[in-house]
Chains A and B, each alone.
Chain A
Amino acid sequence: MRLVGLEAVIFYLFAVVAILFAIFMITARSAVHSALFLISTLVASAGLYFLLQAEFVAGVQILIYVGGVLVLFIFVIMLVNIKEEDTKIFNRQILIASILSFFLGLGIIAILLQTQKGNFFTLVSPLPPKIEQVQNSPNISQSHNISQNTIKIGQELYTRAVLPFEIASLVLLVAIVGAVRLARERKQEKIYD
């Protein structure tokens, strides 16, 4: 897809931020700093989703990952109170890790090249809808602006993808129950009951 004008600027801004903070995340010494950088990465990628007109995915990304998962991450980090220790950033598994990530990178590039049929930087996609579509209509509902993908996601989730969706929710439920069971010691139960 060729990016033009403001859109390109925003895209590259978000992309660079996401990658930079991802690097910061794995090199940060303090666990809380790592979490903070991960949050920045996630927010930047949410920005990219916005750019892809996937507002719903972007919103949910922030709501679930930043507002939920990472808040809990930080919560746990604070609870176990990991100190800023002089642990080495690189350990013995660096060789295996670098080989694995090399192959992973190759794989990603291969897939990209294949899907873009070699014209990775030149492919032209239809331009996004124009501003005029939402022209001056002071009091008339802009309901037609509802992006189709939000509706699509909803419909897919409740029609074709209903079984995987339900299975996933069941797995999550099991995980919750398991976590509660693991976390609650006898002593605590005695105090609470």
Chain B
Amino acid sequence: MYIYLLSAPIWFSKLPILKDYLDPMVLDYLVWPLVQIGLLLFVVLTLIAYLTLAERKISAWIQVRIGPNRVGPQGLLQPLADGIKLLIKEDLIPLKADKGIFIVAPIIAMVAALVSLAVIPWGAAWATISNIDVGLLFILAVSSFGVLGIILGGWASNSKYALLGALRSAAQMVSYEVPMGLALIGALMFTKTLALQDMVINQENLHIWNVLFQPLGFLIYLISGIAETNRAPFDLPEAESELVAGYHTEYSGFRFSLFFIAEYASMLIISAIAVTVFLGGWYLPGLSYILIPGSTLFVLASIGVFAFKTLVLLYVFFWLRWSLPRYRYDQLMELAWKWMIPASLANILLTATILVIAKEFGLIESQGNFLSISTAGYIFLIGTAFIITVPLTWIILGQINARSRDFNLREVEPLPMNRAKKNS
């Protein structure tokens, strides 16, 4: 087998009914993953539904409103009502649309978003469905697939706003995929693996979160991730003030909600990967002292830690959306090509250099698939990351982009006034 499924917990194989009728291998590698997949889809789709409510509540809170509070206590049944509304809405397909692609596009978007869930390490041990050895590559590949749904949806609608939205998103997502992928490479140098579960374990072994080694990479990843999911301030493909609704202008009912679910699912995935790669995944310092590693309680706690970190990042997504204006298309591209990509390349270069220097001084050692770092090494690596990598990249890019039009915003000065000039 090439996809390494993680085996079921012991208590699962001891469940009385299952044990009697099924082979342990089948239990471990067929029944348990199916249970996991079912559970995960249920939890994630419910979570997505409640993320929409959370977003509305948070935006209401930011905007001094109350937010949805009519359906159920405190509006808690609102997602249900929304879902039912979308389901029973008339399913419109524009007359001149390319019918086949119009139907397939939201499915592609949704599937691409949900497939990635399979490899994310939701928690320690059996809480993860599979740990394939190119996990990160898999996620990047699959999420690049999601662009297709958006482009095809926009094109198939046969509407100008949708087409413009689709073109914008194609350019935007292709551009931001590059810095997103490159930003992860710096972290890969420390974890030395592409398998996501192993990345968390490596961080656990080093007793550190990668974000301390890779502050710049984390920042670039987060910004590119927001752009990649078409969220404000990069929500140009669906900028409602310019393009009505962008690529899903012509979509209604449940097809629209598929796009909607895909957007929220990819937000979830982007946050989950950021947590896994940079914020230690389910690893929390000290957790293994309180609970016995490998026990059911530990695994549940690890799931909780992971969920908490992911939700914090999702809150950042919401927060940014409701407080920032929107970039313009060309400025967005400029940010990607003139800032993000050079910065991520510089990050790789500087990180590699620092690692080589540290190795020369014997501060870190490579032991098989792990690094072992001495105390001085920790100080050196974290110090250089914050003192050298970040400021140096900032200064160099600032110098390079000094002639760029948007960089040279004039200083904000108080307006001149016509002081009480009285004439009659």
User: Are A141 and B202 in contact, CB atoms less than 8 angstroms apart?
Assistant: yes
List residues of A (120-136) whose CB comes within 8 Å of B's CBs: 128-129, 131, 134-136
CA distance A39 to B171 in the complex (A): 18
The interface residues of chain B lying within 8 Å CB-to-CB of A134 are: 1, 4
Query: Restricting to B51-98, which residues have a CB under 8 Å from any CB of A?
Result: 98
B2–A50 touching, CB < 8 Å: yes
Q: Scan residues 100-136 of chain A and give those whose CB is less than 8 A from a CB of chain B.
A: 128-129, 131, 134-136
Contact of B369 among A62, A78, A143 (CB under 8 A): A143
User: Which stretch from B148-156, B230-238, B251-259, B374-382 is at the chain A interface?
Assistant: B148-156
A72 on interface, CB distance cutoff 8 Å: yes
CA–CA, A146 and B192, complex, Å: 10
Q: Is the CB of B198 within 8 A of A142?
A: yes
Which of chain A's residues have a CB closer than 8 A to the CB of B369?
141, 143-144, 146
Q: Indicate if B195 sits at the interface (CB-CB under 8 A).
A: yes
Are B195 and A55 touching (Cβ within 8 A)? no
Residues of chain A within 8 A (CB-CB) of B163 are 78
Find out whether the CB atom of B101 lies under 8 angstroms from the CB atom of A63: no
Report the minimal beta-carbon distance from A151 to chain B, rounded to whole angstroms: 10
Q: Is the CB of B141 within 8 A of A131?
A: no
B159 interfacial by beta-carbon distance below 8 Å:
no
Of chain B, the residue at the smallest CB distance from A77 is B155
- Report the minimal beta-carbon distance from A104 to chain B, rounded to whole angstroms: 30
Q: Is the CB of A150 within 8 A of B201?
A: no
Q: A142-B197, A146-B195 are in contact. Are A71 and B147 (CB under 8 A)?
A: yes
Q: Determine if B144 and A63 form an interchain contact, defined as CB atoms under 8 angstroms apart.
A: yes
Q: Which of A32, A135, A146 contacts B133 (CB 8 A)?
A: A146
**Does residue B117 face the partner (Cβ distance < 8 Å to A)?**
no
Known interface pairs A56-B137, A74-B151; A67-B201 also in contact (CB < 8 Å): no
**Stretch from B123-131, B321-329, B350-358, B386-394 forming part of the interface with A:** B123-131
User: Known interface pairs A36-B101, A143-B368. Does A71 touch B195 (Cβ–Cβ under 8 Å)?
Assistant: no
Q: Are A59 and B138 within 8 A (Cβ)? A: yes
Q: Are A66 and B294 in contact (CB under 8 A)?
A: no
Binary contact readout A66-96 vs B (1 if CB under 8 angstroms, 0 otherwise) = 1110111011001100000000000000000
The answer for the CA separation of A138 and B298 in the assembled complex, in Å, is: 12
A67 touches B166 (CB 8 A): no
Q: Which residues of B contact A129 (CB under 8 A)?
A: 1
Contact B2 A74 (CB under 8 A): no
Residue positions of A touching B, CB distance < 8 A: 30, 32-33, 36, 39, 50-51, 53, 55-56, 58-60, 62-63, 66-68, 70-72, 74-75, 78-79, 128-129, 131, 134-136, 138-139, 141-147, 150, 192
Give Cα distance in the complex from A30 to B98, angstroms.
10
Contacts of B9 in A (CB 8 A): 138
Neighbour of B141 across the interface among A59, A79, A136, A147, CB < 8 A: A59
| A142 & B195 in contact (Cβ 8 Å cutoff) | yes
Nearest 10 A-B pairs (CB), nearest first?
Answer: A67-B144, A59-B137, A62-B141, A138-B125, A143-B369, A63-B141, A55-B134, A136-B7, A141-B201, A75-B170
Question: Is there contact, CB below 8 Å, between A75 and B171?
Answer: yes
| B36 beta carbon closer than 8 Å to chain A | no
Complex Cα spacing A170 to B1, Å? 38
B395 to chain A, nearest CB (A): 25
CB<8 Å pairs between A and B, sample of 11: A33-B100, A55-B132, A59-B141, A62-B145, A71-B147, A78-B151, A136-B28, A138-B125, A141-B201, A143-B201, A192-B330
Chain B residues with CB below 8 A from A70, complex form: 148
Q: Is B177 engaged at the interface, CB distance under 8 Å to the other chain?
A: yes
Given contacts A33-B100, A75-B167, A138-B126, list 14 more A-B pairs with CB under 8 A: A32-B101, A55-B132, A59-B140, A63-B144, A67-B143, A67-B145, A68-B177, A72-B174, A75-B151, A75-B170, A136-B7, A141-B198, A145-B131, A147-B2
Asked whether, in the complex, the Cβ of B137 is within 8 Å of the Cβ of A71, the reply is no
Q: Mark B170-202, 1 if CB is under 8 A from A, else 0.
A: 110110010001000000000001110110011
Q: Which residues of B contact A75 (CB under 8 A)?
A: 151, 167, 170-171, 174
In the bound complex, residues from chain B placing their C-beta under 8 Å from that of A138 are: 6-7, 9, 124-126, 294
List the B side residues contacting A192 at CB < 8 Å. 330
Interface pair A71/B4, CB less than 8 Å apart: no
Task: Say if the beta carbon of B142 comes within 8 Å of chain A.
Answer: yes
- Known pairs A32-B98, A71-B147, A138-B126; A150 contacts B198 (CB<8 A): no
Instruction: Write the nearest CB–CB distance from B161 to chain A, whole angstroms.
Output: 14
Most chain B CB neighbours (cut-off 10 Å) among A32, A71, A78: A71
A66 CB contact (under 8 Å) in B131, B141, B293, B370: B141
Q: Name the residue of chain B whose CB is nearest to the CB of A39.
A: B148
Most buried by A among B104, B138, B171: B138
Decide if A150 touches B1 in the complex (CB within 8 Å).
Answer: no
A70 to B151, CA, bound (A): 11
Q: Are B198 and A147 in contact (CB under 8 A)?
A: no
B25 in the interface (beta carbon within 8 A): yes
Task: Decide if B308 is an interface residue (CB 8 Å cutoff).
Answer: no
B42 interface residue (CB < 8 Å to A): no
Q: Mark B203-223, 1 if CB is under 8 A from A, else 0.
A: 001000000000000000000
Q: How far is the CA of A66 from the CA of B205 in the complex (A)?
A: 36
Q: Which residues of B contact A59 (CB under 8 A)?
A: 134, 137-138, 140-141
